Structure 1
């Protein structure tokens, strides 16, 4: 309300001054107390309209001129004018973006995303090509189900050096507590140096009534890969050495897999793949009925005809299932695979790369 009244009073003053009332203009206008002289208030019925700014006047004049010129221009001239306006708008936008650059614009961005897309786009083009080739030859695809049996981390991973420094500083600052003004009487006695001593991890472990289990096990020291009691800080995957995929080079490291039978669900085929490979003693939990990944494999002409039959190749559906810590392990007596190992993602990728090359290894790197 105060701003509206001031504007009205200012306009009234202009009206009165333009009317030649010099005595009225000499009267004081008290804006702070919202009082105006009676002579000025009487003239408030003729309030001047607010003038436009210079920029608004110029824009209005230009619009009027442009409208008049637009009526005189031909269709082709109007198209050229609109094209010129769009180009000028684009150049202004690019100039603004160039002006808004900061020191971080020269740092690499989306490095991992770009690296993944460079592989993913080529992979999708190759898969689409295989689909067209199979359709052209009129051959169906065979469905294979592979299983990623995953053991989750047992202990928390090691902290980085900066994380340890941050936690130590936070624990030290928390020893001071909250501070209140002295007059409130909430503050305790003056702090002492011993009040701000943070207990180290070693001291805390020494004060426990039991001895914690080591984070590094004997299997890590000996290199035993056939036990779940290794690499407790990361995930492990059940990997087998088998020739069930019909490869010409003999048994190779891969995931448990099997050909899906008629009227058998993919999840049921995944469960059967694990039991056929390493026995049925493993306790597993599947978080979803849907597969996690899909890959395609074209049958080589060198493969036996009894294995290829009339199929163009295989569509391999990968399921992720988790090992249940309630018990169970690989039953070596009932195992049909030649060998097995519980490996980390890096170890699986290294073995795949050694046997099949970098392309297949990259697929397992992104899938696992």
Structure 2
């Protein structure tokens, strides 16, 4: 048990302990530790032997509801018929009133838009008006800092991380350099959705290893972008995306859920 001894200018004493002095000593120790850590450890994002690249997965969400899987459709039909035998029986007068609803002069003939568009029929992968029930992803063709050579390749919009405040700012800058305006985009979160490390080949030992961080952004309220600073571009589904990166198929399958 601690015993109260004295309480005055010197400070509170409990059982011979001067808590003012203890607090001052703890404060000095914490300050000394912070200075020591500041000298030995600075802020660092990677080793000097790594090149960091921010890559943008630019996505267009489905516009129409996807078709129901045949097995799901059969189950829904069975479930509906099973529930029908236990449903409440309504009078015939009530059912006839509901059948006659909407048959006045104000009725408008509605014709749904086709699922298959002209871009689907011509396989125009530069159009956003295709694969309306699937997610589309933007790929551009040209030179990139993330590649080991200066030859043009298919890649996501990306940029080497340099003086930007954050890695996401770097990804935003990469996408802005391609589409020019970010007013019709929505960035999903501040953290990357995926990460991969690419080591240099045996004959490229002088090159740096590459760390690529993937961020996601989505198309908002538009059906066309003015794609610049590249030789070509395509909007492709996940299955078509794997045709351009067959060696990274396993990684993309895990990262992209669609």
TM-score normalised by the chain length of structure 1: 0.48
> Offset at 1:315?
1.3
Conserved in 2, the CA contact under 8 Å of 1:278 and 1:337? no
* Structure 1: tracts of 5 or more residues without a match: 1-134, 180-186, 200-206
Alignment partner, residue 181 of structure 2: 280
Conserved in 2, the CA contact under 8 Å of 1:280 and 1:331? no
**Which residue of 193, 214, 217 corresponds with 2:117?**
217
Alignment partner, residue 226 of structure 2: 331
**Which residue of 208, 211, 215 corresponds with 1:315?**
211
Q: Distance in 2 between matches of 1:281 and 1:139?
A: 32
Cα distance, 1:271–1:252 mapped onto 2, change above 3 Å: same
Q: Distance in 1 between matches of 2:224 and 2:87?
A: 53
Q: Distance in 2 between matches of 1:260 and 1:293?
A: 16
Whether 2:226 is the aligned partner of 1:363: answer: no
**What are the within-5 Å matches in structure 2 for residues 83-162 of structure 1?**
139-162=48-71
> Offset at 1:281?
6.1
Q: Distance in 2 between matches of 1:299 and 1:171?
A: 58
**What are the within-5 Å matches in structure 2 for residues 1-368 of structure 1?**
139-173=48-82, 178=87, 209-244=109-144, 245-248=146-149, 250-280=151-181, 283-300=184-201, 308=207, 312-324=208-220, 326-327=221-222, 329-332=224-227, 335-353=228-246, 358=247, 360-368=248-256
Conserved in 1, the CA contact under 8 Å of 2:129 and 2:223? no
If asked which structure has higher relative contact order (CA below 8 Å, sep 6+), I would say: 2
Report the structure, 1 or 2, having the larger strand content. 2
Larger radius of gyration: 1
* Structure 2: tracts of 5 or more residues without a match: 1-45, 100-106
> Offset at 1:145?
0.1
Cα distance, 1:301–1:160 mapped onto 2, change above 3 Å: closer
Cα distance, 1:208–1:285 mapped onto 2, change above 3 Å: same
Report the structure, 1 or 2, having the larger helix content. 1
Q: Distance in 1 between matches of 2:75 and 2:164?
A: 57
> Offset at 1:208?
6.7
SS in 2 for 1:247: coil
Paired residues, number: 198
Deviations 1:327-352 (A, max 9, x none): 263314xx111111110111111111
Q: Distance in 1 between matches of 2:76 and 2:132?
A: 23
The RMSD of aligned alpha carbons is: 3.1
Alignment partner, residue 36 of structure 2: none
Q: Distance in 1 between matches of 2:158 and 2:165?
A: 14
SS in 1 for 2:74: helix
